[in-house]
Amino acid sequence: MGKPPIADGALAEWREGMRRLARLENVSVKLSGAAPEAAPHRPLSEQALPYLAETLSLFGAHRCMLGSDWPVSSQTNEQYMAWVDLVLGPALEGATAEERTSVAARTAGQFYGFEPDLPHERTD
């Protein structure tokens, strides 16, 4: 997400830069990089959600992909799963199943040139 100033909560300048990038249809964005930029004494979710929401709004789910921020952030499995839960949960509240699939796997597959192993919908 372009190393947003999450700890400061300063959206305006970051938002303008992201708007310029979002106008370029060939640009996709990873939903990552929040933990190193956040204030350690405050919950990451309350700091990161405004940036996640803005990124999703500007780029759309079809151009956003879940990112791990590894190895920059030496995350434990618990920290990583909390990030996944935040992105695929509250950040995508109200999203369609297709939008969730795009963020979770499809956008990355398209960007990196692989076919993600997606669960198949049940027909019964």
| Residues 45-103 pLDDT 10s | 999 999 999 999 999 999 999 998 777 666 667 778 888 899 999 999 999 999 999 99
Q: What pLDDT is attached to residue 123?
A: 46
pLDDT bracket for residue 120 (50, 70, 90): low
pLDDT bracket for residue 122 (50, 70, 90): very low
| Residues 35-47 pLDDT 10s | 888 898 999 899 9
Q: What pLDDT is attached to residue 73?
A: 66
Give the contacts of 11 (CB within 8 A, at least 6 positions apart): 4, 50, 51, 54
Q: What pLDDT is attached to residue 52?
A: 96
Q: What pLDDT is attached to residue 49?
A: 96
Please give the Cα distance from 1 to 110 (Å, whole number). 18
Q: What pLDDT is attached to residue 124?
A: 42
H/E element, 65:
strand 64-66
Sign of CA pseudo-dihedral 57, 62, 63, 65: positive
Q: Which residues pair with 29 in a beta bridge?
A: 64
Peptide bond between residue 71 and the one before it cis (omega within 30 degrees of 0): yes
The answer, yes or no, to whether residue 112 has pLDDT greater than 60, is yes
